[in-house]
Amino acid sequence: MAALAGSIWRRSTPGCKVLILVFGKTGQVATELQRSVDVLALGRDQADLSDPFACVQAIRALAPRAVINAAAYTAVDQAEEDEGLATIINGDAPTAIAQACAEMQIPLVHISTDYVFEGLGEAPWKPGDTTAPQNAYGRSKLAGEEGILGSEAVQPLNYVPFFNRVSGTGGLMFRAWWGRM
């Protein structure tokens, strides 16, 4: 992720207010990004993903060169009782963010999860594999992917990386599969 963010940063041009805008400030991925790359990270108090339009407004106001969505409803067990909210945060908000990025013609990095797959087998998942989420968290994350990839927001620079584990001890990602769209 840091390498990808760095390559986006290098492609940035002068004159913009913010180079890379990150949604999420306190999470594992957001923390590593802030440690590795020069980004502006917005916490929940600045952009709450339960209000997707607030995220759109932040993108429009800050006019970044790229956006990384590192915020998500990640409480897998709690999502079973809270699927509506999880779907707004993991589904509606990323969709709105992608549309705002498309409107501003900037790339979006969004992080998926192996929970969108059925979870059987030994082989690493590939971006084109059939999705079959087995729980509310997986369904909410898949809603976000479908919202991003299935809309007019899709551009060549949109990525949906698939992680099954993130470790934050200096390196950022392990066993990641990148789907370049």
- What is the contact surface with ligand NAP in residues (CB under 6 A)? 24-30, 43-44, 48-50, 70-74, 89, 111, 113, 141, 163, 165-166
Strand partners, 113: 163
- Nearest-approach distance from CB 13 to ligand NAP, in angstroms: 28
Paired tokens of 91: 């589904």
- Residue placing its CB nearer to ligand NAP in the complex, 105 or 135: 135
- Residue placing its CB nearer to ligand NAP in the complex, 16 or 31: 31
- Residue placing its CB nearer to ligand NAP in the complex, 15 or 178: 178
- Nearest-approach distance from CB 130 to ligand NAP, in angstroms: 19
Positions marked catalytic: 137
How far apart (Å, rounded) are the C-alpha atoms in residues 144 and 155?
16
- Nearest-approach distance from CB 75 to ligand NAP, in angstroms: 8
H or E stretch including 11?
Answer: helix 2-11
Q: What is the CA radius of gyration of the chain?
A: 15
Category of 176 on φ-ψ map: left (φ > 0), alpha (ψ -120 to 50) or beta: beta
C-alpha angle 128-132-138 in degrees, rounded to nearest 5 = 100
Question: For residue 176, which of 125, 128, 140, 142 has the smallest C-alpha distance?
Answer: 125
- Nearest-approach distance from CB 160 to ligand NAP, in angstroms: 10
- Residue placing its CB nearer to ligand NAP in the complex, 30 or 136: 30
